[in-house]
Structure 1
Amino acid sequence: MIQRIPHCSHWGAYTILVEDGRIAGVEPLAMDPAPSDIIHSVAEWAKPDRRVLRPMIREGWLARREGSDRQGRGRERFVAVPWDEALDLVAAEIARVADTHGNASIFAGSYGWTSCGRFHHASSLLKRMLNLAGGYTGHVDTYSIAAGPVILRHVLGDDRACGGQANTLDNIAENTETLVVFGAMSPRTAQSEAGGIGAHYLEGYLRRIAERGVRVIHVSPLRDDLPGWVGAQWWPIRPNTDTALMLGLAGEIVAAGRQDDGFLARCTSGSDEFLAYLRGDADGQRKDAAWASGITGLPAEQIRALALRLVDSRSMLAVSWALQRAHHGEQPFWAALGLAAVAGQIGLPGGGVGYGYGSLGGVGAPFSIGKSPGMSQGAKPIDSFIPVARISDMLLNPGAAFTYQGETRHYPDTRLVYWAGGNPFHHHQDLNRLSQAWTRPETIIVQDPMWTATARRADIVLPASTSIERNDLAGNKRCDLILAMRQAIAPLGQSRSDFDIFDALAGRLGVGPAFNEGRDEMGWIRHLYDESRAHALRAHGFSMPDFDTFWERGHAPVPVQRDHVYLAGFRQDPAGNALDTESGRIVLGSKTLARLGHDDCLAHPAWLPPAEWLGKAGRDELHLISHQPQGRLHSQLETGAASMGGKRHGREQLRLNPADAQSRGINDGATVRLWNARGACLATACISTDTAPGVAVLPTGAWFTPAGDGPELSGNPNVLTLDIGTSAFGQGCSAHTCLIRVAPHAGDNRDPMRTYQSQLAEMLPHPEETP
């Protein structure tokens, strides 16, 4: 008999079909108009091949604890131990480091996407436990988006415009006349959403935009960052030069005397300084179409024509999150705001600027105005954090100063790293540098379902169950449903749920009752749902079904905001709806940034050449873009059918323009070597006219598989990417600022997946050694 189990993951809601305790199939949520194929890969979680099946301790650490040879991480064998012994060791390490060095020396990195569940959220549960035990050093912002929200918090007062609360896409689809897409607006990236997604709406909005005949300009090095059927005009810009295009467009509007002086005077501060920069008053360089053309590689006449169209029609600027994952990544977000302000379109239906449409599935969709379910991390007893992408800097430079949002802080002396449900050896840049930094802490604990590259480099590994082996619920501010995640199969091996692991540790640390509040798994799930249900009724008069009905049905609607126009009230009454900025208005010239004097984040939007770009590339260098793949999210489910469909010969595919491939003697399907001063990896060549000349594309998420002194085998782009902050102000990830060389490779062609499995097998105990 087949059981039908409702469930949800980051890439969608679905029903798992279970027969005799095994997954027999997966069906998408019936109300989802564009379900993701990734849902059919979840059966991979039930396979033991890469699963952590029992608690493990690195042999050298077990013998010498904090005095062990840390170079043994990733090479030494593991020893299997009983759960009680592993939990005792973890609790003792937390207590030792806190007592000896202080709680700031505990880094709870735990940035990851292991599950969309709001209860068994590994990162939140870890931080809840550590807050009760005295605190920890955490991180702020994300690898996906850091520089963008930092600058928007300063110039708009908050980061709602890049978190899904700019103009909603239903409003754009019905009112916009000219849509300029900077970067991507793609169903590929819209497959996924933090906290889960019920229905995928982006494709429907794009079809309505095409149906209405909206003039769409697509500014990207990759033509397929927007579906071809939208009918957009493709502008194949040089990577990392969007800021120059935005400033050139704004400069053309100003040169023509077409700027909206009334809007600038009423709704912005510092606009005189910004306009002076566009005119070139200080540097003698007008920021106009000819200037922008020389930087971006786009025709000047096209830029001039678009500038006038932006003021002659209802225009919307859609800026992808990807643009701010680059050196000086604050600038395209700020420059787009400046362009929209000069055009006077902000606060109008279908007009203005928004960030991240399609970067996640819920950005731009009608957004929840209810209370999203989620576990509280509790009060933070200490104030210690780093920007998320500065992990290697922290580990390599204890005590060193860093700046962030105008503050000067210092990196802690990190002795213990506890990572739950994540994989920095996927997310982080310059993995060879991270490998060096990873040898600095005394102890590294990893809690995860999978033997990721990070778990392999741990001292203590705790086996967590996957979401299909426990009960949970999904939902977030960018989803119009709360979704049940019912357990489908029994936990594999000795794996335990994240809550059970942290509850056991909290008990050993003397904070058990405060951690669990007397609730078990289903008690917490019911409690979190009932909190959201009560808030919906109290705040919005919106009735949600009772818990038992929700749990049986598998989903429940939440109150949402549709047809939203960002800053409409502010435009109408700037004084009565003042922004939380230094002036109460949109900041185009910043007194704060002028005082700080950062040379990499000026007091107004500006073109600042990045550390690596095609404007200063060597004759044979290409600009590498590392984006999300079609068939998986990050490094999850890499061996699933959807992910494998994007690989060739077991490796990731490197997309190249035909001219770049021909000049290097590279044939489609050939193995190629990519390298720069930071590292090297292998990939399989894919020749594509959808890729601009001078640009190479390698998706993220291949499992990091170094092989001695040779190139990384699987095609992981983060062996090549640049590990520097976007600026002294934002300190975001600069992954898209990366030059490489590429050549045919006739050397080591070992299968990376078999190699990974073989390397792992050498580190694990034989079955007879298992207690």
Structure 2
Amino acid sequence: MTVSHSAHWGAFSAGWEDGELRVAPHPRDPDPSPVLQNVPAALRHRARVARPAVRRGWWEGGPGPSDRRGREEFVEVGWDEVLDRLAAELRRVYADHGPTAVYGGSYGWASAGRFHHAQSQIHRFLGMAGGYTQSVNTYSGGAAEVLIPHVLGPFDQVTRSVVTWEQVAAHTDTVLAFGGMALKNSQIGPGGVSRHVERGAMLAARRRGAEFVLVSPLRPDLPPEVSPRWLAPEPGTDAALMIGLAHTLWAEDLHDRAFLRDHCDGWESYEAYLRGAGPGVGPGGRDAEWASRICGIPADEIRALARRLARGRTLVTVSQSLQRAEHGEQPVWAGLALAAMLGQIGLPGGGFCYGLGSLAHYGRPRNAVPVPTLARRPNPVRSYIPVARVADMLLNPGTAFSYNGSDLTYPEVTLVYWCGGNPFHHHQDLARLRRALARVDTFVVHESVWTATARHADVVLPATTTLEREDIGAGGTDSLVVAMKPVAAPYGQARDDHAIFAALADRLGFGERFTEGRTPREWLEHLWGRTEKALANKGFPAPTFDEFWAAGEHLLPEGPDDGGVLAALRSGTALHTESGRVQVGSARIASFGYDDCPGHPAWLPPSEPPSAEFPLWLVANQPSTRLHSQLDFGATSRAGKVDGREVVRIHPGDASVRGITEGDVVRLTSPRGACLAAARVTDEIRAGVVQLPTGAWYTPASDEDPTCVHGNPNALTRDVGSSRLAQGCTGQLTTVQVERFTGEAPVVRAHEPPRLA
């Protein structure tokens, strides 16, 4: 017997055959993700957390700062014992330090299910417990999530559905893809993906005659089937290339003056910048020659590309990867300004689209009715940080910092509670993160497997996986809602997050308020009721919960593919920006006085360029074989490794001068640390660049040697903000040296449990 289920990378069916779990993609999916085959290993892998476990030093000595986190054995204890101790610790922290001393981490994708959504559960619990310091924005899009509301409008409203894949297939003549549109990224979408349409849409556009221009140091960032023209600039110089293109449009009078006049604000300041305003610019201004000296693309190619963009329907896309870097706001803003100069914002398949191809929920019409979701309870305190600044907060309590026009202060946090995420994947400079976590009194983690985050915790509570519980899988731009049915009993003593929080809430005196008297199944019925009512109100078939659950799925109606607020702009509807128009320049941002984010798009050089000691750029991008670090032990993820080690891609010229050949174990070093990886020599990468995907579980060589033997690039990356405007993550790029590893390479034991007593 098979049951329906869903994950962020696709809807699927699951069942047992000859004692083994088998999974199959949903039949409506034209291009299923290979990541699905990571699922069977998840249920009974030795990396699973079987019982509540507590770091020995915390259990025997009580809470307090400790540099033994990540180095000490764990004691397995009973549920009642650990929950009693944890409830007492929460009471102590709230009484002695107040709610701002509790940080509710919970950053990560966790489950596609909408009730057992880890972030919703922990924020609901901590909000009722008294409040907590929370995070805002994401590691994936932190810079853009702050900038775009200033210059274009509310983030989701102006990014997700304004340009769709159907429009690209039917209307676009030129796709200028800064950072590419890699299919490995668009195989993933929050809440699940039932139809992977990206490859098919790009092929349809190509067959119609559309040209794809890939701007990336990595050739695979667009599928080869669309025969993209590949431009490989110096990493981090996309904004300079965009400015050079914009200068050509301006100098040759190819820009749309009427659109800039009628629908944009701040053009004058950007025009002055193109002309050469500011120091260190020659008489030609920031022209193609100026851009070429920075990005390495010949000036004639820049001019020819600008002329191409001015012909036909052009779509400028900027991937999430570009803004995960120092000054990451600038390529997003410069890409928007370039599209504004072309005058096609709001036209079908034209203009500007941030993130198209970066995630599966971009480029699709929204559902016509809301999907079932667990509402987030308001936090009674206002303490917050940008999510990527967590180590700064823990290391520098009481220190002032700038964010989005405000002057804020880091709170003093003594208890960190994490549920549904893995900061030892998402965060940068992992040695620094270890030092930061050593400062707190207590670090609590809900986890189904022994990730590095779990290994660094004081209290590890075993959580079920989605395969072991009921839920509803749904995403706002995917029409399929899935009744997620369990395929196995919980592993060991694992409990779902809701049950763990309900038991803690009982001990703290608000159990009835937390559960509202509902079982998980009754919560699912309650959440489905909102969708059922919305369907009925709009005249669509509206099955009851029992009918939906018996069927296993339901298709929601799609909303209109009408270009949204950007199309409405062309007919006179104002945007939600400071002027009601597209902000090519912004007086509001200029008023903040940030030298690392001026009032118009700009090229700002990196503060840590390649050097004699660290001569190569490292691109630390998303993996193709898993979702972030999830199920790193799965079949697809393991198949992408060499002898259990992650693979780094290096250009033949860079490999040759270092004596590196295919399959060699190499050591990558940066000013922050070191890691080992297996070399793959390829000409599909720009010379002077190496690429190592994120997501390999951080595995230090020993207690004394923090070198990651598994190949996690965040042992190397910098933990600094994108700018004072957004304080976003800058983990995409850093500078490194690569050398052939000599001697016997250490065995990778990333997926083995820690010492348990």
Place the TM-score, normalised by the shorter chain, in its bin.
Answer: over 0.9
Which secondary structure state, in structure 1, belongs to the residue aligned with residue 475 of structure 2? coil
Decide which of 686, 692, 696 is 2:686's aligned counterpart: 692
1:621 partner amino acid = P
What is the CA–CA distance in structure 1 between the aligned matches of 2:212 and 2:393, rounded to whole Å? 43
CA contact (8 A) 2:479 2:556 kept: yes
Which secondary structure state, in structure 2, belongs to the residue aligned with residue 303 of structure 1? helix
Alignment of 1:70 with 2:69, yes or no, is: no
Kindly report which structure 2 residues correspond to 1:405-416, keeping only aligned pairs within 5 A, or say none.
Answer: 405-416=404-415
CA contact (8 A) 2:450 2:751 kept: no
Alignment of 1:655 with 2:655, yes or no, is: no
Query: Counterpart of 1:132?
Result: 128
CA contact (8 A) 2:317 2:354 kept: yes
> 1:756 and 1:637, CA in 2 relative to 1: closer, same or farther beyond 3 A?
closer
Query: Counterpart of 2:298?
Result: 299
What is the CA–CA distance in structure 2 between the aligned matches of 1:296 and 1:520, rounded to whole Å? 58
2:557 partner amino acid = P
Structure 1 stretch displaced more, 677-686 or 508-517: 508-517
Query: Counterpart of 2:10?
Result: 12
Query: Counterpart of 1:458?
Result: 457
What is the CA–CA distance in structure 2 between the aligned matches of 1:402 and 1:162, rounded to whole Å? 29
What is the CA–CA distance in structure 2 between the aligned matches of 1:348 and 1:13, rounded to whole Å? 32
Alignment of 1:388 with 2:387, yes or no, is: yes
Kindly report which structure 2 residues correspond to 1:302-701, keeping only aligned pairs within 5 A, or say none.
Answer: 302-538=301-537, 540-574=538-572, 577-613=573-609, 616-618=610-612, 621-701=615-695
Structure 1 stretch displaced more, 704-713 or 490-499: 704-713
Structure 1 stretch displaced more, 367-376 or 463-472: 367-376
> 1:323 and 1:161, CA in 2 relative to 1: closer, same or farther beyond 3 A?
farther
CA contact (8 A) 2:322 2:331 kept: yes
Query: Counterpart of 2:119?
Result: 123
Query: Counterpart of 1:61?
Result: 58
What is the CA–CA distance in structure 1 between the aligned matches of 2:679 and 2:567, rounded to whole Å? 51
Query: Counterpart of 1:213?
Result: 209
Query: Counterpart of 1:52?
Result: 49
Structure 1 stretch displaced more, 27-36 or 582-591: 582-591
What is the CA–CA distance in structure 2 between the aligned matches of 1:201 and 1:535, rounded to whole Å? 27
User: How much has 1:549 moved relative to structure 2?
Assistant: 2.7
What is the CA–CA distance in structure 2 between the aligned matches of 1:457 and 1:51, rounded to whole Å? 16
Which secondary structure state, in structure 2, belongs to the residue aligned with residue 126 of structure 1? helix
Q: Deviations over 1:521-544 (max 9, x none)?
A: 111112112212212332x43334
Kindly report which structure 2 residues correspond to 1:77-96, keeping only aligned pairs within 5 A, or say none.
Answer: 77-96=73-92
CA contact (8 A) 1:202 1:365 kept: no
CA contact (8 A) 1:638 1:703 kept: yes
User: How much has 1:160 moved relative to structure 2?
Assistant: 2.6
User: How much has 1:13 moved relative to structure 2?
Assistant: 0.8
What is the CA–CA distance in structure 1 between the aligned matches of 2:689 and 2:345, rounded to whole Å? 33
What is the CA–CA distance in structure 2 between the aligned matches of 1:156 and 1:556, rounded to whole Å? 34
2:411 partner amino acid = P
User: How much has 1:282 moved relative to structure 2?
Assistant: 3.9
User: How much has 1:98 moved relative to structure 2?
Assistant: 0.9
1:563 partner amino acid = D
What is the CA–CA distance in structure 1 between the aligned matches of 2:694 and 2:278, rounded to whole Å? 42
CA contact (8 A) 2:54 2:76 kept: yes
For these two proteins, the number of residue pairs brought into alignment is 752
Query: Counterpart of 1:764?
Result: 756
Question: Which residues of structure 1 form unaligned runs of 5+?
Answer: 766-771
Query: Counterpart of 1:34?
Result: 31
1:187 partner amino acid = L
Query: Counterpart of 2:165?
Result: 169
Alignment of 1:230 with 2:229, yes or no, is: no
Which secondary structure state, in structure 2, belongs to the residue aligned with residue 328 of structure 1? coil
CA contact (8 A) 2:69 2:457 kept: yes
CA contact (8 A) 2:614 2:670 kept: no
Kindly report which structure 2 residues correspond to 1:672-751, keeping only aligned pairs within 5 A, or say none.
Answer: 672-708=666-702, 709-710=704-705, 711-751=707-747
User: How much has 1:569 moved relative to structure 2?
Assistant: 4.1
Which secondary structure state, in structure 2, belongs to the residue aligned with residue 75 of structure 1? coil
1:207 partner amino acid = L
1:643 partner amino acid = S
Which secondary structure state, in structure 1, belongs to the residue aligned with residue 4 of structure 2? strand
CA contact (8 A) 1:418 1:444 kept: yes
Query: Counterpart of 1:769?
Result: none
1:45 partner amino acid = A
CA contact (8 A) 1:5 1:18 kept: no
Q: Deviations over 1:323-382 (max 9, x none)?
A: 100000001111111111111111112210001112112211232242122112212211
User: How much has 1:748 moved relative to structure 2?
Assistant: 4.4
What is the CA–CA distance in structure 2 between the aligned matches of 1:537 and 1:731, rounded to whole Å? 44
1:557 partner amino acid = L
Identity of aligned residues (%): 45
> 1:352 and 1:494, CA in 2 relative to 1: closer, same or farther beyond 3 A?
same
1:43 partner amino acid = P
CA contact (8 A) 1:447 1:461 kept: yes
CA contact (8 A) 2:143 2:323 kept: yes
